[in-house]
Amino acid sequence: MIWPPEDDMSRVVAIFDVDQTLVQGYTERLFFRYLVRQRRLSLPRALVYLSGVACRIRDRFQDKSYLAGLQVEEVVRLARQCYRKDIASRVGLAARACVREHQAQGHAIALLSGSLSLLLAPLQEELGADWLIATELQRVNGQFTGAISGLHPRGPNKLRLLQDLSRAQGFDLSQAYAYGDHIQDSYLFRSIGNPVAVNPSWRLKRQARKYCWPIRYFTL
């Protein structure tokens, strides 16, 4: 991923995870179900996909084969429909307020998620976020291949991708804020000046108590 350089080298950044942090639920699961309901993903193909990823636990988050062969333009259209119908209402008032608080202080906003970039683009637009780092999909001849493009933003990769953005934009991670819910976010939290555990899993809550990270709850 390449971002144009910023002139302001001292801008504070607030980084938000999406699933179970800004959004109550898991956005790609909602999209998967939406595709089945819209009959763009047949039930037999959906079941084959689910049984396959169940046998490949380590690689399951990078397997997007359920989208293989689908037209890019159609999937983007369906993703926007899914966001509008099934996801937008799951962005809680407290989550929106937190984003606005940072923006009121002049902070930049980055969304950092393992979910699909095309699915979260409407959320970026709605919140006025400066950057979106999410899973990019490989495309060939106007169709998705079922593979991802670049690093998958999960665990240590979230930190690597954020460091790339930090170098490109010139902001200081020691001054940044980060909000996340999962133990996988702890890789990022340990390199951020102001980590905040939001709706934390029990493992992240234990880490938050150990390192005295604030704990917040964003509800609908």
List alpha helices for 83-185, DSSP H: 93-104, 117-127, 156-169
Q: Please report the pLDDT score of residue 219 as a whole number.
A: 84
Cβ atoms of 181 and 21 closer than 8 Å? yes
Q: Please report the pLDDT score of residue 52 as a whole number.
A: 84
Q: Please report the pLDDT score of residue 56 as a whole number.
A: 73
- Which whole number is the average pLDDT over 174-192? 94
Mean pLDDT (the chain) is: 92
What whole-number distance in Å separates Cα of residue 198 and Cα of residue 50? 29
Give the CA radius of gyration of the chain: 17
| H or E stretch at 90 | none
Of 90, 140, 148, residue with least CA distance to 118: 148
Q: Please report the pLDDT score of residue 55 as a whole number.
A: 76
pTM for the complete prediction?
0.91
- Which whole number is the average pLDDT over 41-54? 89
Distances (CA, A) of 164 to 65, 130, 161, 170, 172: 28, 15, 5, 10, 12
pLDDT at 184 over 80: yes
What share of the chain has pLDDT > 90, as a percent? 85
Q: Please give the full DSSP string across 155-173, using - where no structure is assigned.
A: THHHHHHHHHHHHHHT--G
CB atoms within 10 A of CB 192: 22
Q: Please report the pLDDT score of residue 83 as a whole number.
A: 98
Confidence of residue 166 (pLDDT cuts 50, 70, 90): very high
- Which whole number is the average pLDDT over 147-166? 93
50 is written with which tokens? 């689910």
pLDDT at 2 over 60: no
pLDDT at 183 over 60: yes
- Which whole number is the average pLDDT over 186-199? 95
Q: Is the dihedral of CA 113, 70, 57, 54 positive or negative?
A: positive
- Which whole number is the average pLDDT over 180-205? 94
